[in-house]
Chain A
Amino acid sequence: MRRSDLGEFEEVVLLAVAALSPNAYTVAIAEEIERETGNVVTSGAVHAAMQRLEQKGYLRSVWGEATAERGGRRKRLYTVTALGGRILEESRAVRNRFWDRIMPAIRLEWS
């Protein structure tokens, strides 16, 4: 599995879906990322990323319930597939290994 398959923003979205599951849908994810990162995130950007992730097979979606807030339209609920989960694990493992190799002295310099 090539690393380039998962962009940075895609990774964040994928993580957010996993975190919010089973109530992960575009608006909730966008707001969650906004809250966590402090940047403005449009639902369009999130939606586009999730479409790509779904195409790659990391996400799957089903229709959820409709709410008045959405003007009576249904939401689409996303969940992470097993493949998606493995990719997340893998990327986390890569990062962890690097983190572990950073010398404590250097980390002290940063803080």
Chain B
Amino acid sequence: MKSEQSTSGQPPGYLTNFIKMLVKPHLREEILGDLHERYMRRVKTQGVARARRRYWLESLAYMRPAFIKRQKSEYRSTFLLNPAMIKNYVKITYRTFVHNKLYSVINVGGLSIGLAAAMLIMLYTKDEISYDHFHEGAGQIYRVDRKMIKSEGNIANSGYTGYFQGSRFSAGVPEILAFVRLQQAQMEMKTGNDIHTQSVSLVDSNFLSVFSFPMISGNAKTALLDPASVVITEEMAQKQFGTTDVLGETMFLKNGAGFNPVTVTGIAKNCPQNSSIKFQMLRPLNVSASEEGLNENWFRFFLNTFVVLAPSANLQTVEAKMQKVFEADAAESIKMIREKYGIANVGMSFFLQPLTDIHLSKNVSASEGLSDAGNPAYSYILSGIALFILIIACINFVNLMVARSIKRAKEIGIRKSIGGNRNQLIIQFLGESFLLCLAAFVLAILMVQVVLPVFNQLSGKALALSYLVDFKLIAGYSILFISTVLLAGFYPALIISDYNPVSALNARFTLTGKNYLQKSLVVLQFGLASFLIISTLVIFSQFDFLTNEKLGYEDTNLITVQKWGLKHHDATLFKDELIKNPNIVDVAFKNNGYSGNTVKVNGEHRVNVTYETIDASFIPLLKIPVIKGRNFSPIYPSDSVHSILVNETFVKQAGWKEPVGQEVAFFDINEKYTVVGVVKDYHFKPLTEKIEPQLFTMNPGSDYGMLYIKIKPGSETNSLKYIGETFKNMFPLDSYSYGFKDQENLKSYEAEARWKQILLFGAILTIFISCIGLLGLSVLSAETRTKEIGIRKVLGASVAAIVASLSKDFLKLVLIALLLAVPLAWLAANKWLENYPYRIALNGWLFASAAMIVIMISLITISFQSVKAALANPVKSLCSE
């Protein structure tokens, strides 16, 4: 009974508090006293349970206007926004700011970095989602995509279609109002005596009326009607003619054997940054009558087809109708394909993809015939990083504000003593954080302006600050600003205004409590920073691996020169000419790019191969080892028609024990080839792709497209000059372009390079901002422990011991953060590395070095304050009481 009384000695606290809040202030003491007394008496006479029940009823009796309604005060309450006071607030803000320059700069700087990151990423995401929305009626425009169900059951989608999909669907489906085809082509263009390759977009004549690309001059409706017309962009006009007033000028483009004149009939503004369709020159697409009659064109895919649907059209209905048109119209070709390849079902269908979805689509990407394929993952990761940076920056701002306010306890005490009320103090400190936020905001805008060029390079965009002038974005930034002010201002304002003036003036003031919130924030910040550091290290090592791993062939001192449709006979002549120069070691030929093919081995077993046309010197020139059999050789004249080489993977897939002498059959030609040698697997494609079966022939029927020229080290300038001259002499009508194989190989990893930069950027920012937070906390801790440090020093503690005792707590938090971050980072890194067939193994050193980096950085940060505190003269801290 006794223990029960002691636990329930008090009536329910929440109810008491509620009543306290509810009733008039001058009645509080009496009412609460009455309630308490009745409760205590009832506990004695009727027991706790009943007393508590009665307490409820008693309390209820006080909920009536007679007790609640406040009386009007006799004195007017202070006007909160008195101009004199506001002037005083601004002055005090300025003085505190100047008085603690370092902290103020760190505080405002940290916040503005967070804001700048958020702004940049808002800019980026806005741009990403605004792609292609600028076209009038963009919602009505769709791209025709196709879906292939392969024999193995997997589905492949593609954005490429052919001549017929546009015209035939448009004729057969009434809902399709118009169609535009867009084919990207490379054409040789002559300016004066200079010939170079120019990308040209071949389009239907209604291209400029379906899409809204603004024109500077020329008529959008008629500009592309004439087959000999060309529409160029502003930039192109400047480059070619030095002016944009070029309507009616003539340009020369290669067509078949010679250069034909075309007339400029329109000048368009440069394509907007957020357009998936980017062109420099537009030429009318010409479909000859013979092509028009060729039913196989249903199955030749090399261009993009766009259709405009009627506003009322239903997508499913239109797609179903399209499929009917396809099956009826292409019946002839479908039958032919079935017979030729022995496939029961062609498994092809067409579907529509909204124009505005193309940019961020993973299903059918913009890279299929259009530009700027976006990756939504970039947007998500960047937004995530930005959000975290901003939140952390806000939290730091709060922590630092509260930490600094301890020094201002006296000011608050005095304000309160001479009659400042709590609301005034809240207004003062909210106003102060408003001013600081405003400064941070202005600074952030300046920062964005400065960083934008670098950011553009990182993100591969052409964003400008003028992009900010957009209603939605301005609204977004305003919300960002207001929420930052409230987020960063309210908490300190509430805490600070709650100080008790007596203890504040008494100089024995400390912030009490365990500060779990602040501690977990430090853990969160450093966990995130560690995660990003580990990720960055993983990406760096994987990138290093990709670029330094042995490819299985030598790519040094190797020049590649493109030459389309090089006949084998011309090749020999060209090689003889080149080899005359002593700097040139050897020359080999290969087809351009990679062509896929399917071959039959062991009767009916199919193998998908990369079909390479090479000459006899290709394998030795690249130093690819032949592990079985022999290389092609001029000694065996039949090599060019009967022999092939294969790689190890091919042998493995074919399941051969003894590959040399085996036969390989093709589908389209009724010839059989014999394997004469096996080459060791080499990475003919980037390391991001698995080595696939490869098949080499010297078939004279397929032309070469690429020269591999091995030169002596250090002879680049001379060799290039000689190669260029020889090329011009032999092929005066072709454009000449060359590359270094090792540099081209590096270019394959641009996506990885970009991730590397983004993460590095994120990691540095996060670490920096986390350090600001840590600094704030160490200031707080050192300041509240001044006396303790003084006493320790007096009693003989060394500086090192004091620094250690001050750092210990924070180091603990950083270690917890690391413990949390390492497993998560390990999982994420593994997941990411799974994308790569050839990858690094994650080892402990990587994590250990990341941990070392984090610990070092945090120790340095803490030491800023802890060393200062440890060196301070104890007399100073102890004498003032």
Contact = CB atoms under 8 A, between A and B. Distances in A.
B74 interface: no
Interface stretch (B37-45, B231-239, B642-650, B702-710): B37-45
A44 B29 contact: no
A27 B37 contact: yes
Interface string B30-50: 111111111011000000000
Contacts of B34: 25-27, 43, 47, 70, 75
Contacts of B40: 69-70
B66 A76 contact: no
Interface in B17-63: 29-38, 40-41, 57-62
The secondary-structure label for the interface of chain B is helix
B181 to A, nearest CB: 86
B776 to A, nearest CB: 41
Interface of B: 10, 29-38, 40-41, 57-62, 64, 66-67
B61 A73 contact: no
A71 B64 contact: no
Contact of B30 (A30, A67, A76): A76
A75 B66 CA distance: 19
Nearest to A42: B61
Using C-beta atoms within 8 Å of the partner chain, give the interface range for chain A: 20 to 34
A58 B36 CA distance: 27
A70 B66 contact: no
Contacts of A74: 29-30, 33
Nearest to A71: B36
B67 A73 contact: no
A23 interface: no
Given A69-B40, A71-B36, A73-B36, A26 B30 contact: yes
A51 interface: yes
A44 B64 contact: yes
A44 to B, nearest CB: 3
B66 A48 contact: yes
A45 interface: yes
A35 to B, nearest CB: 12
Contact of A43 (B10, B35, B64): B35
A30 to B, nearest CB: 7
B379 to A, nearest CB: 60
Contacts of A30: 38
Nearest to B29: A73
Interface in A49-72: 51-52, 66-67, 69-71
A71 B62 contact: no
Contacts of A69: 36-37, 40-41
Contacts of B35: 43
A30 B58 CA distance: 11
B36 to A, nearest CB: 4
A48 B62 CA distance: 8
A73 B30 contact: yes
Nearest to B61: A44
A110 to B, nearest CB: 34
A79 to B, nearest CB: 16
Contact of A42 (B36, B57, B67): B57
B558 to A, nearest CB: 93
Contacts of A45: 61
